[in-house]
Amino acid sequence: MRVGAGEVFGFLGPNGAGKTTVVKLLLGLTRPTGGRATVLGAPIGDRLTRRSIGYLPELFRYQPWLNAREVLELHASLIGGSAGPSPSDIGRGLEEVGLADRANDRVGTFSKGMQQRLGLAVALLGGPRLIVLDEPTSALDPAGRADVRGIIAGVRDRGATVFLNSHLLSEVERVCDRIAIVDRGRVLASGSLDDLLGGEVLRLRVTGLAPDARSELAQFGPVTAGGDDWLSIGGVPPDRHPDVVAFVVRRGGRVHAVDGGRRGLEDRYLELIRGNQS
């Protein structure tokens, strides 16, 4: 698996798939039992390379007795080096995540969402070349999630790479250039959204359709049954959607909903994960 410079890379998988383990390996927090990997051209775990990496842990928590500015000052000091973050960088960082007016408040008084914003500011401190975000929006409200999408877009615009671990497939679908889906320590699929999701898919919610008629739907394209009476038919161009609906009605089926377009990431994700686990 390879993540290119300047990409926003989504790393998906069920609980226990090994996503956080991969992140910890990249940062040298856990040692590999075998194999080889590099980050920013250096072997994983290289101490000085970590100067160019920002990290928001999944179980984020910062010293509750420090205030937000002090947390960033601490991390600026730990980054060290001649080009370490300055006080104005810290001010800008707090502003970027919407915490400028809470800079002098103790972290212990912050809500989970505010702590997550602080974690983002910590991860972005010093303009790192690689930013590793482990579930960065899990505690945020919809407005906060939109803010994070904006921050990620800003990071990409300045040429940095983002490695995004998330369960929120809709978020991943909206911000990532490329995606990998992993399970049980194996990469099941990786590539751009186009590579992974393929072409057009017609989704129908149908009841009352006899099994033989359902089989005959394959004449329009490969059929996949989903939950709640949903059927997905791959490779159906938009001008043939009425033909499919007419066929279902002709064969006695009742059509409750029709959804044309590209297959959702969730469908593809479930297909891969269920296929791997069966």
CB of 9 to other proteins, least distance (A): 18
Distance of CA 115 to the CA centre of its chain: 19
Provide, rounded to whole angstroms, the least separation between the CB of residue 212 and other proteins.
Answer: 56
Minimum separation from the CB atom of position 47 to other proteins (A): 5
Candidate ranges 27-35, 165-173, 249-257, 269-277; the one touching other proteins (CB under 8 A): 27-35
Alpha helix segments (H runs only) across the chain:
19-27, 68-79, 87-96, 112-124, 142-157, 169-175, 193-197, 211-216, 241-250, 265-277
Distance CA 49, CA 250 (A): 64
Helix/strand number for the chain, H first, E second: 10, 12
- Contact between 53 and other proteins by CB under 8 A: the answer reads yes
Which of residues 24, 69, 102, 203 is near other proteins by CB under 8 A?
24
b/e sequence 3-26, b meaning 16+ C-beta within 10 Å: beeebbbbbbbbeebbbbebbbbb
Q: Which stretch binds other proteins (CB under 8 A): 29-37, 89-97, 228-236, 267-275?
A: 29-37
SS3 readout for 99-115: CHHHCCCEHHHCCHHHH
User: Residue holding tokens 């579930």?
Assistant: 135
Q: Which two tokens stand for residue 269?
A: 């994700």
Give the tokens for residue 139: 């505690």
Nearer to other proteins, 47 or 158 (CB): 47
Total residue count of the chain as it appears in this document: 278
Quote the tokens at residue 79. 């980054």
Q: Which of 17, 68, 99, 122 binds other proteins (CB under 8 A)?
A: 122
If binding is defined by CB under 8 A, does position 61 make contact with other proteins? yes
Q: Is 215 in the site for other proteins (CB under 8 A)?
A: no
By CB under 8 A, is residue 60 in contact with other proteins?
A: yes
Q: Minimum distance from CB of 4 to other proteins (Å)? A: 22
Using CB under 8 A as the binding rule, whether residue 170 contacts other proteins is answered as: no
Number of residues near other proteins (by CB under 8 A) = 30
Among the residue ranges 61-69, 88-96, 154-162, 190-198, the one whose residues contact other proteins (CB under 8 A): 61-69
| Site of interaction with other proteins (CB under 8 A) | 24, 27-31, 47-51, 53, 55, 57, 59-63, 65-66, 74-75, 77-81, 119, 122
